[in-house]
Structure 1
Amino acid sequence: MSSTTITNISRINPMPVHRRLLLAGGISVAYLILSCFLIGFRPEQIFISGLFFVLYTVSKKTRNFLLTLMPFIVFWVIFDYMKAFPNYRFNTVHVGDLYALEKEYFGFNYRGTIHTINEFWALNRSTLLDVLNGFFYLCWMPVPISFAGYLFFKDRKAAIEFCLTFLLTNFVGFIGYYGYPAAPPWYIHEHGMVFNPATPGNVAGLAGFDHFFGVQIFHGLYAKSSNVFAAMPSLHAAYALVSVYYAYRKNVATGWKIFLTIVCLGTWFAALYTDHHYLIDVLVGILCATIGIALFRSVLLKSKAFSRFMRSYYQQVA
């Protein structure tokens, strides 16, 4: 029986409602149980599992949307579970040596002292830059997800490719996290060169944004940080570049191209301004995105097995 025939049969005889409810409910409950076991219960787990259940069961359109953007959910679950397996347990955390490397290659003289880019901006903050860079940093996930949603309605194959490339780029970045645990710049400014595994997350240069608007957005986000010592590479930088690449490759609306390019450049600058990444982290993040894109397009898509998987994936959400 051909794959086309199988697909037509599946469309004529879709999964019964009760089976969809059982499947979605089973996955949601399993996720909650595993989460409680690995990292403890948190309210947002109810939201994620509830959203998955609703989108999967309400209609075919919502189910297709969920399945298309499933790589984002897979990423988030894995990223969240990293709390149970902190990278400092597997390799030495780089603190002073990375700082010295940044100073050697990208340091510059300012008022008679060699400073990193981060240190320069720490001494020259402004309310305008606090607000602008806060907005850019808030784009790290909402913008790629929104772009994926746009692609879902414009070009579903492009949406699948983008989402899978996003996930693959994360896998490349996670290898970096565990292969080269690294403290962010703010760690040295707050705690010096001594490694302390109990160090909580820190808003660093993003505090100005929260203060200006009288909110606790970044304080809340970084209090739940999966891993303080995962500054290398900067996946904020990587996500933005993957989005820009697909915007131009798939020739989307000009407004999207301009917007994503601005967000990309702004995010790269914000990573430095907010004291969360060195320039080295950003450059390696750009490299991660490049590797992720190259692996997906030049290796996976040329594999017969993966090509079959892609055809099946598309048929499920078409």
Structure 2
Amino acid sequence: MSSKYFALGGADDEDSTQRFFTRNKFLPSLPTMLPHRLRRKFRSTRSKIRSRQTPTSSISSLQTSFNPRDTLQTLRDHQWSVYDAQYIFLAVVGIFALCVIQSPGPMVKTTVATLLMLSLLLPVTRQFFLPFLPIAAWLVFFFSCQFISGEYRPPIWVRVLPALENILYGANLSNILSAHKAVVLDVLAWLPYGITHFGAPFVCSGLMFLFGPPGTTPTFARAFGYMNLTGVMIQLFFPCSPPWYENMYGLAPANYSMQGSPAGLAAIDKLFGIDLYTSTFTASPMVFGAFPSLHSGCATIEALFMSHTFPKLRPLFIIYTGWLWWSTMYLSHHYAVDLVGGSLLSAGAYYIAKGKFLPRLQPGKMFRWDYDYVEVGEAREGYAYGITDLAEDDFHPANFGMDSGDEWTIGSSSSVASSSRSPSVGARSPVDESWEGDTLASTSDNEYYQQKPGQKS
């Protein structure tokens, strides 16, 4: 006869497992030693947890509706929180950028804004463009920086980064790495800096969408966008000259009328007979945006999210980040301190997302369609099946003859290994509260625990 039981102690300690939640038609599914009031509250908690779970299709499938009324209904049902203030911030950034941009003209800007609003109104496109909003705000704000007059911008720091480089590392690492040039080294530096950097966000998003828990890609998109947007704001208010400026002009004062430079990427244009990087970097909207390095920031945040989704490939992602660090300094686009600043910015964005919004991996799940529920944020120790909702005095270890110093859990993951669902640890993803599925407190359980006439509780 099959049985289900709860574990007292660690989930991996078989000796500590107490089989006192045995299910059969003769014995109750809760120990008779527990007070009736506690058993009733425990069953109620289990029912609430199971009622919040949805079928696999409801969390892994995509929206296919083109009806704007579905979006309006979603807005009416949405429970607003302080996190929704981000959309006000993004709207302010977008409106400011569109007002500053001089070219293209009002017609093009109005068309782009209208198309974006339309994409948010249709459910089939909203699921993609809503997480894309921070990235869109970053791109339009970065483009608008070239139209901000120099009289409203702070002076350019030319000596700060070289001084920090010598103080922290004892030498200018960028000049050391770029001192010896070779065609092979030029190509090796160009691949991550000029090719992979622009395609990696799309590849990472696709892989996380297929193999990560539902909700991983939108979380990555938001963290990626906010990281870059924050980096551009730092570059705007703390403009610093890159290594190529020191190589060309020394430590002479800089001004905003100066054009950018492709630096080491000019060798790639010469090698392939093109004018791609020379024309692009010469007309860069942010010429003096050395600190922090967003190339380093993008590589780091991609490595962190990919390491979360594919833990076994973490060394590969670390190697890629180090490769891009080397190429950035070899091409004379950033100092080492810029790379550290970009990586720290990405680490902050990642760990904020991981602690509050990033879905956790579950053992044995390979594709997004394998998940029948999603847990987000950091796992909280000692919490399972909502047991913390019970009164502290009712569930004190002393009531069960146990030492209060023992570490124990009820409803650990090992206790429901045969079930298709697992206990809740941490926050769950928002799901449809109206979904009615099988719960732990099923009809048979309620009938069994129904008090008989004349029976005292």
Residue 348 of structure 2 aligns with which residue?
A: 291
Residue 239 of structure 1 aligns with which residue?
A: 298
TM-superposed CA distance for 1:167, in Å, is 1.7
Residue 15 of structure 1 aligns with which residue?
A: 68
Identical aligned pairs, as a percentage?
22
Q: Structure 2 vs 1, CA of residues 218 and 153 (structure 1 numbering), >3 Å: closer, same or farther?
A: same
TM-superposed CA distance for 1:129, in Å, is 1.1
TM-superposed CA distance for 1:121, in Å, is 3.0
Residue 148 of structure 1 aligns with which residue?
A: 205
Residue by residue over 1:284-307, the C-alpha shift from the partner in whole angstroms, topping out at 9 and shown as x without a partner, is 1111111222333346777xxxx9
2:147 is the alignment partner of 1:84: yes
2:135 is the alignment partner of 1:72: yes
TM-superposed CA distance for 1:162, in Å, is 0.7
| Match 1:221 to one of 256, 276, 280 | 280
Contact 2:307 2:317 in 1 (8 A): no
Alignment gaps of 5+ in structure 1: 20-30, 109-115, 313-318
Alignment gaps of 5+ in structure 2: 1-51, 73-93, 359-376, 378-425, 432-457
Contact 2:100 2:148 in 1 (8 A): no
Contact 1:185 1:276 in 2 (8 A): yes
Residue 181 of structure 1 aligns with which residue?
A: 239
2:182 is the alignment partner of 1:119: no
Q: Structure 2 vs 1, CA of residues 63 and 294 (structure 1 numbering), >3 Å: closer, same or farther?
A: closer
Q: Which whole-Å CA distance do the structure 2 matches of 1:13 and 1:182 have between them?
A: 47
Of the structure 1 ranges 196-205 and 153-162, higher mean CA displacement relative to structure 2 is found in 153-162
Residue 22 of structure 2 aligns with which residue?
A: none
Residue 333 of structure 2 aligns with which residue?
A: 276
TM-superposed CA distance for 1:181, in Å, is 1.5
Q: Structure 2 vs 1, CA of residues 260 and 70 (structure 1 numbering), >3 Å: closer, same or farther?
A: farther
Q: Structure 2 vs 1, CA of residues 167 and 217 (structure 1 numbering), >3 Å: closer, same or farther?
A: same
Residue 323 of structure 2 aligns with which residue?
A: 266
Contact 1:39 1:84 in 2 (8 A): yes
Residue by residue over 1:254-284, the C-alpha shift from the partner in whole angstroms, topping out at 9 and shown as x without a partner, is 4xx5664443222111111110110111111
Residue 164 of structure 2 aligns with which residue?
A: 101
Of the structure 1 ranges 85-94 and 68-77, higher mean CA displacement relative to structure 2 is found in 85-94
Q: Which whole-Å CA distance do the structure 2 matches of 1:253 and 1:150 have between them?
A: 15
Q: Which has the higher helix share?
A: 1
Q: TM-score, normalised by structure 2?
A: 0.51
Q: Structure 2 vs 1, CA of residues 270 and 62 (structure 1 numbering), >3 Å: closer, same or farther?
A: same
Q: Which whole-Å CA distance do the structure 1 matches of 2:160 and 2:64 have between them?
A: 58
Q: Which whole-Å CA distance do the structure 2 matches of 1:88 and 1:288 have between them?
A: 28
- Higher gyration radius (CA): 2
Q: Which whole-Å CA distance do the structure 2 matches of 1:130 and 1:311 have between them?
A: 48
Residue 222 of structure 2 aligns with which residue?
A: 164
Residue 134 of structure 1 aligns with which residue?
A: 190
Q: How many residues align?
A: 276
Residue by residue over 1:94-117, the C-alpha shift from the partner in whole angstroms, topping out at 9 and shown as x without a partner, is 102321221233244xxxxxxx12
Contact 2:260 2:287 in 1 (8 A): yes
